[in-house]
Amino acid sequence: MVLLVPRWGPRIERCVMTMTERQVAVPGGDLAVLDYGGSGPDVLLIHSAGHNAHTWIEVAPFLAQHAHVYAFDLRGHGQSSAEVTEGSMQTSDDVVRLIEGLGLERPVVVAHEFGGMYAVAAAVECPAISGLVLVDSAVVETTDAVRDLVSMIADPMVLDLLEERFGLGRSGPDAASLAEYVDSYVERIREDWMARTWDGEAARRLVLRGVVIAEDGSWARRPTLQTVQDLAEIPSSYPYYPGRELMETLGCAIQVITLTSGHFAPADSVADRAAANPTWQFVALDVDAEALNTHPRLVAAPIVAFLESLRSEAPST
């Protein structure tokens, strides 16, 4: 099924909701979790490499009106103490551990951009996952295309570009240097073509979630470039290498949300994919790649509809 959803004005209103910080133990440390509460099906949100759980801070409250919503920081990101030690697919194992550690029942996993790789691999390992939602994710491409993209991310020139643009891995000695860094980051984001539609508040929240402050007041921005490079390491022998071919082996329901001006999976190819995969639901949103911040209600709407469809199809008890 294909749905084309037009843009709803320049910005959708915000929905404010409190959240609870939690930690789930995994090998090598903890994963930091934001529990948005809510009643209904369990939903686990996965951000992309280089970001953190605050990627979802605008969308999550809309979802929490219909579900119990959790977001977490990947290894080496945000406030999670666990580091990447075994490459990218260690993260898919973490998704399974989170489902068990949080006691989630038949959760729907919603993933953004590169987070889709971890979500699909986790769904292979964890039959308890009842559905996947993939937002602007390259994982719907062929395995070869995903492999090429992952290799590109690990290229030293690309890593240098990420460091220059977004200040990954920066550090400083005190609060004054942190304030200077955050202000310069926000200004850089406002001028950057990759994130030109962000507002200053969204950029400030995201960067501060990724800062760890030591007892002596020194600070470090996470992830580091090494973490991003480690996440790009997927052995060719890995049995669950992400891509469209792996997705086609899954038994759970799948919703693919493409953005007309997104980073991945251009919407103009949605019809072809839908014809080849009639059991998947495709939604094309007429927005750019920063829609999670600029149009959160628009992004949340098809996800809520997907949750409702799963609920109606579930066997009665």
Residue where one domain finishes, among candidates 221, 241, 260: 221
**Whether residues 106 and 72 fall in one domain:** yes
**Whether residues 214 and 247 fall in one domain:** no
Whether 226 maps to a domain, the answer reads no
**Whether residues 117 and 207 fall in one domain:** no
Number of domains in the chain: 2
Q: Which two tokens stand for residue 99?
A: 């489902």
Q: What percent of the chain has pLDDT over 90?
A: 54
Local confidence pLDDT in tens for the 317 residues of the chain: 555 555 544 444 566 667 999 999 999 999 999 999 999 999 999 999 989 999 999 999 999 999 999 999 999 999 999 999 887 778 999 999 999 999 999 999 999 999 999 999 999 999 999 999 999 998 888 888 888 888 888 788 888 887 877 788 899 999 999 999 999 988 887 776 555 556 678 888 999 999 999 999 999 999 998 998 888 877 767 788 888 899 989 999 999 998 887 777 655 565 576 667 777 898 989 888 888 988 999 999 999 999 999 988 765 54
Whether 100 maps to a domain, the answer reads yes
**Whether residues 66 and 179 fall in one domain:** no
- Say which CATH number the domain at 97 has: 3.40.50.1820
**β-pairing, 29-37 with 20-26?**
antiparallel
The neighbouring-strand residues paired with 69 are: 37, 43
**Whether residues 16 and 93 fall in one domain:** yes
CB distance 32 to 59 below 8 Å: no
**Whether residues 215 and 239 fall in one domain:** no
**Whether residues 243 and 132 fall in one domain:** yes
Q: What is the pTM of this model?
A: 0.91
Whether 270 maps to a domain, the answer reads yes
**Whether residues 254 and 115 fall in one domain:** yes
The string of pLDDT tens digits covering residues 171-203 is 999 999 999 999 998 888 777 655 555 667 888
Whether 83 maps to a domain, the answer reads yes
Structural domain of residue 212, as residue ranges? Answer: 170-221
Whether 164 maps to a domain, the answer reads no
**Whether residues 215 and 236 fall in one domain:** no
**Whether residues 147 and 215 fall in one domain:** no
The beta strands (E) that lie in 12-60 are given as: 20-26, 29-37, 42-46
Phi and psi at residue 159, to the nearest 5°: -65, -40
